[in-house]
């Protein structure tokens, strides 16, 4: 099976979680937060925590296993058959 560009971007990991996925998600949170007009550091922290929890809940609702879900005890360890 050939590696796609997204497979290569998702290659580097920390704690077996893709750095690219985390950066993309936090960039999305930053864009939404700026549009929503979040100003204070405390509100940013709360918003980012909410964003992460929303992602965990969405993955759990659709039955998509993730490493963060695994670490939180919400799903089995996801299989990683493709290595690029």
Digit-coded pLDDT (tens) for 64-79: 999 999 999 999 999 8
pTM: predicted TM-score of the whole model, two decimal places? 0.83
Look at residues 50, 22, 53 and name the one whose alpha carbon lies nearest to residue 36: 50
Tokens of 53: 């929890």
Q: How confident is the model at residue 45 (pLDDT cuts 50, 70, 90)?
A: very high
Rounded to 5 degrees, what angle do the CA atoms 67, 20, 38 make? 95
Distance CA 23, CA 34 (A): 16
Task: Render the burial of 34-60: b for 16+ CB within 10 Å, e for the rest.
Answer: eeeebeeeeeeeebbeebeeebbeebe
């Amino acid at each position: 099976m050939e590696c796609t560009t997204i497979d290569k971007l998702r290659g580097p990991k920390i704690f077996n979680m893709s750095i690219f996925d985390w950066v993309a998600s936090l960039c999305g949170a930053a864009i939404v937060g700026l549009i929503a007009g979040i100003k204070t550091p405390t509100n940013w922290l709360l918003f980012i925590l909410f964003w992460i929890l929303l992602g965990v809940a969405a993955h759990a609702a659709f039955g998509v296993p993730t490493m963060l879900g695994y670490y939180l005890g919400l799903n089995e360890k996801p299989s990683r058959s493709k290595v690029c």
